[in-house]
Structure 1
Amino acid sequence: MQQVPSIYHHQVGEITVTAICDGYLDTNYEIFHGITPEEGDAHMRSAYLQSPPRISVNSYLVRSKGRIALIEAGAGHTMGATLGFLPAHLAAAGVNINDIETVLLTHMHPDHSNGLTDADGSRVFPASEIALADAEMRHWQDDSAMAAAPERKRERYFRAAREQLRAYGDQLRPFTGTGEVFPGITPVPSAGHTPGHTAYLVADGDDSLLIWGDTVHVPHIQIRFPHVTLDFDSDEAAAAAMRRRLLEIAVTEETLVGGMHLDFPGFGHIGREDDGYRFFAAPWNPIL
């Protein structure tokens, strides 16, 4: 049995942001650093959540000034039967893939960028430019960084990213700085999880939404305990520092946040709790 397509619209001023779930991923506590499996299990069960954790994998469609962008391309065909639903859910939302002008990437990990290409290595978004931080693109093309990585990461991260970049050729648009990259969207550099990891601020008038990429992977653990890092952080200390910085921004500026691994539909606010933080899910709104 399947639920209805995982699509949810949110208005940011005159900009419409649509959360689209690519699927989910079951994980385990062995990937965490800074919390024991027993502590993680107790924390998840105390909140009546699945343990070991199951995490959403989300993308965000942005309609602004008559143009369409997509933040994140999903996992495609590469990560099992519970992922790869983004194209079907885009169609259910009435979106033609060829109408997507820009695909913005927070970073190039398999659940975020593998959906750029199909099983034959062909472009899934043939009409789209692919925009990402220049530091992110250069990292995955760095031979010395690839040689220093474990074989599994060389294959799943570096080689996969290079194949995706090669498929799009002159449609790639690396950017630097914090200038607008699409109408109403500005990058927020947030290196740590990867060297070019980038959040995106969607803003119109007094309304804003911070789409923070992989600031957290298991929100019920890493928001409450922001020191907790994971095996696939490029720089664990920098990732933890980045997480605290963005959580503080969300708290002090009372900014609505969206995240690729927040429980769908993936919108909410951040508050403080003891020496960590707490996530307050935005209530479902049936009317735009």
Structure 2
Amino acid sequence: MKSHRIQSSIVGLTLVTAAFTSPAATSHAQPASVEQLPGVYRFALGDAKITALSDGTIDLDLHQLLRGVTPDRLDALLRQDFLEDPVRTSINAFLVETGKRRVLVDTGSGELFGNRVGRLQESLAAAGVRPDQIDDILITHVHIDHVGGLAHGGKAVFTKATIHVGKPDLAFYFYPAASSRAHGDAESSASAVKVLKPYANLGRIKPFSGSEEIFPGMTGTIRPGHTPGSAFYTLESQGRKIVFIGDSIHSLAQLTDPSITIAFDTDSKLAEGVRTQAFADFASHRTLIAAPHLPFPGIGHIRQAGQGYTWVPVGYDDRPLTPLPLED
């Protein structure tokens, strides 16, 4: 069974790359070209300032990628959200600024997905932050659209940052035993080595297991399924909380029916269990969440709706932010 799940993962990773050029993604008449400005949305959470950063968007052919749903039912679910397949899907990263540090949650796709994405540096510049000002990077999991921005041309982009990542993902993608190098996710393994090696050479990778405090107020918790070391990161400040949930969701259809899985999962049953438990908890406690693949800025709440849930994106707020000033 594990072999089958791993093969599903590599098929899914091939499909997402193909989404750039697949006929399904280009069959509709194209509208007039519109160049989007860098994507930045910021808000205060207690003493912290959080900025959602767009890395760009890609078309995902969900008919090929989603599992446990028929094409007809999927189309009906998408129509409920005024969508149709293929679905334009966000790649979001998040900047957390506190009185002591600047932290990125994920780094987008960098140079690994072509020039239609990889716009994190534009968005970071629009937010007024340079790569060398980032102190820590929290990786939700080692897939190429989350770690790709770590390096460019084989060199570290964030020259002063420490990389925090789930230890099981390092073992699976970066340090696989020689006997398991053909474990089925070779594309992600090759990419992980390419972008993480500069930081490993500098001694700047800090793996964690279970649930650990990354720094005061920020906790990382391994939630395996999508990958062996997938992690949630929970930030708490002045009684407020946000959870960065990684790829526990790729499509709004998975809110309506959390049993729907995706080809990228290394263990679809585990991933489904994580999503089912997490969504119930988030809805019950009205927890603010940040999701890398929900429509930018990917910040909001989920609300119970029958046997499933609905997405309630954060409301726009342009009032001045009042977190503590960042120390130099």
Q: TM-score, normalised by structure 2?
A: 0.83
* Mapping 1:71-150, distance limit 5 Å: 71-118=105-152, 120-140=153-173, 141-143=175-177, 144-149=179-184
Which of structures 1 and 2 has the larger relative contact order (alpha carbons within 8 angstroms, sep 6+)?
A: 2
1:264 aligns with 2:296: yes
Cα distance change on mapping 1:191 and 1:98 into 2, 3 Å: same
* Mapping 1:209-224, distance limit 5 Å: 209-218=242-251, 220-224=252-256
1:189 aligns with 2:218: no
For residue 10 of structure 1, what is the amino acid of its counterpart?
Answer: F
The alpha-carbon deviation at position 183 of structure 1 amounts to 3.4
1:168 aligns with 2:222: no
1:48 aligns with 2:79: no
1:30 aligns with 2:61: no
Deviations 1:1-25 (A, max 9, x none): 3233210012110111100010111
Q: How many correspondences in the alignment?
A: 282
- Taking only the aligned residue pairs, the percentage that are identical comes to 32
| Structure 2 portions without partners, runs of 5+ | 1-33, 322-328
Larger Rg: 2
Matching residue of 1:6: 39
> In 1, distance between residues paired with 2:107 and 2:283?
28
> In 1, distance between residues paired with 2:80 and 2:275?
23
| Structure 1 portions without partners, runs of 5+ | none
Report the RMSD for the aligned CA atoms in angstroms: 1.3
Deviations 1:87-142 (A, max 9, x none): 11101110011010011100010100011111x21111111111111121111122
Moved more, 93-102 or 276-285: 276-285
Moved more, 13-22 or 76-85: 76-85
The alpha-carbon deviation at position 211 of structure 1 amounts to 0.9
The alpha-carbon deviation at position 274 of structure 1 amounts to 1.7
> In 1, distance between residues paired with 2:287 and 2:129?
28
Q: TM-score, normalised by structure 1?
A: 0.94
For residue 162 of structure 1, what is the amino acid of its counterpart?
Answer: V
Moved more, 53-62 or 157-166: 157-166
Of 248, 253, 265, the residue aligned with 2:280 is 248
Deviations 1:233-260 (A, max 9, x none): 0000000000011111211221111100
SS of equivalent residue, structure 2 residue 156: coil
